[in-house]
Amino acid sequence: MRFFPAVLALLLVLPACAPAPDAGAWKTQSDPEIVSFDLANAQEVTQELVAPPFLPEHEQVASGPPRIVNIRLEIIEREVEIAPGVFVWQMAFNNSVPGPIPVVFQWDWVDLTLVNTTTDTVRFGRAENQLAHNIDFHASTGALGGGELTVVSPGQEVGLLWRAQKAGVFVYHCAPGGEMVPYHVVTGGNGAIMVLPREGLRDGYGNPVQYDRAFYFGEQDYYVPMNADGTSRRYGNFVEQMPDMLEVMRGLVPTHIAFNGSYGALTQDIRLEAEVGETVLLIHSQANNPSYPHLIGGHGDWVWPDGKFNNRPDEGLESWDVVAGGTAAAVYTFQQAGTYAYLNHNLIKAFLFDAKAFIHVSGEWDDEIMTNTFTPRPVGGG
């Protein structure tokens, strides 16, 4: 035991030789002038939203002071075939499940016009809405995320102005109260908003991160009343479907799970493409259940915990977490050509259901990263 004092002295010295990274040195505080910027002086811009998995045109670094970003969301009750022979009356923002993903910067204002459409007001197709709707932005502060201030009946619209004080990707969803909240969410009434830091994304060392493309994956669980032959029951409208669907929901077991609204949406209907050398931002939300994203053949080069950009990102993850009612964000730079599967690594949900997407990457194959040492042959041959 004579060596103990020397070992203890060495252990006491080691931390001074290799100090832990200082989180404060990585994280920058918001500019007080930006935080206190006067709403009356803010420039107004209109963002044209697009259907996921794509994002609207946007800058990755703020080029000026905070702005007022005008967006418009229209609520549509519609019947959709989410899988062969399976029909669901959805509540869809802008005729899309998930709803579109607006992109703003931290300390911008969001000026929303929320429309509960009728056949006379709808832009995206026929709608005969039956119920009142609203919206709860997890990114906002006060009034139940705006839900208290945005209840609209069919044929009405409402305006909501709120400031994006937190950076990250945040869920939004319809939340009219009581059992209507989960019913509207599990029929598609949800989406996400991305609030970028004004200086842009940074890796775990504080270096700037730029992405060449971005894809938004909204994972949706459904609770469909089914017939014995495997087809779904059909209903005349969103209200008629509700009692039977609530009974299925009480069992807490989804009948169907899909990326972006329906089976095959991101494996057959929409082709996601990238090129070798490109960095892609992968955004994921699940408004009702946890999920575990994984990119088969790739990684999360940088993954922001819970999708929040002012937290130091984790490096080189194989899979990561999405909490119920939450998000994730990761970047990956593709190094090899081929087809990649982005999925929920609860593999039952990915393959027995349809919580998956394909990303098709073009470019050159690098044998130094991976190659066959020999192709299939009889055991012991060659």
Tell me, what's the pLDDT at 25? 55
Up-side HSE of residue 123: CA atoms within 13 Å toward CB? Answer: 9
Please, what's the b/e burial string for 335-372 (b: 16 or more CB within 10 A of its CB; e: otherwise)? beeeebbbbbbbeebbeebbbbbbbebeeeeeeeeeee
Tell me, what's the pLDDT at 118? 77
Tell me, what's the pLDDT at 125? 59
Domain boundaries, the chain: 41-198, 214-362
Tell me, what's the pLDDT at 21? 47
pLDDT surpasses 80 at 72: yes
Give the CA dihedral 87, 175, 156, 96, nearest 10 degrees: -40
- pLDDT tens string 200-255: 999 999 999 999 999 999 999 999 999 998 889 999 999 999 999 999 999 999 99
Give the tokens for residue 213. Answer: 């493309």
Find all residues with CB under 8 Å of 251, minimum gap 6, and list them: 223
CB atoms within 10 A of CB 327: 27
Give the whole-angstrom CA distance, residue 130 versus residue 184. Answer: 12
- pLDDT tens string 21-60: 454 456 778 899 999 999 999 999 999 999 999 999 999 9
Give the whole-angstrom CA distance, residue 238 versus residue 221. Answer: 17
Look up the CATH superfamily of 41-198.
Cupredoxins -  blue copper proteins (2.60.40.420)
pLDDT surpasses 60 at 11: no
Instruction: Tell me whether domains 41-198 and 214-362 share a fold.
Output: yes
Of 11-15, 62-66, 184-188, minimum mean pLDDT range:
11-15
Give the SS3 label for residue 271. Answer: coil
Give the tokens for residue 24. Answer: 């404060």
- pLDDT tens string 144-157: 999 999 999 999 99
- pTM for this model (two decimals): 0.91
Find all residues with CB under 8 Å of 62, minimum gap 6, and list them: 105, 196, 198, 199
Tell me, what's the pLDDT at 19? 47
Look up the CATH superfamily of 214-362.
Cupredoxins -  blue copper proteins (2.60.40.420)
Give residue for tokens 């932005």: 137
Give the whole-angstrom CA distance, residue 67 versus residue 179. Answer: 37
Asked if 190 and 289 count as a contact pair (C-beta separation under 8 A), the reply is no
DSSP 15: H
DSSP 309: T
Mean pLDDT computed over 110-139: 85
Which pairs count as long-range contacts for 55-63, CB under 8 Å and 24+ apart, including other chains?
Answer: 55/101, 55/103, 55/194, 55/214, 55/216, 55/283, 56/100, 56/101, 56/102, 56/103, 58/103, 58/196, 60/196, 60/200, 60/201, 60/210, 60/211, 61/198, 61/199, 61/200, 62/105, 62/196, 62/198, 62/199
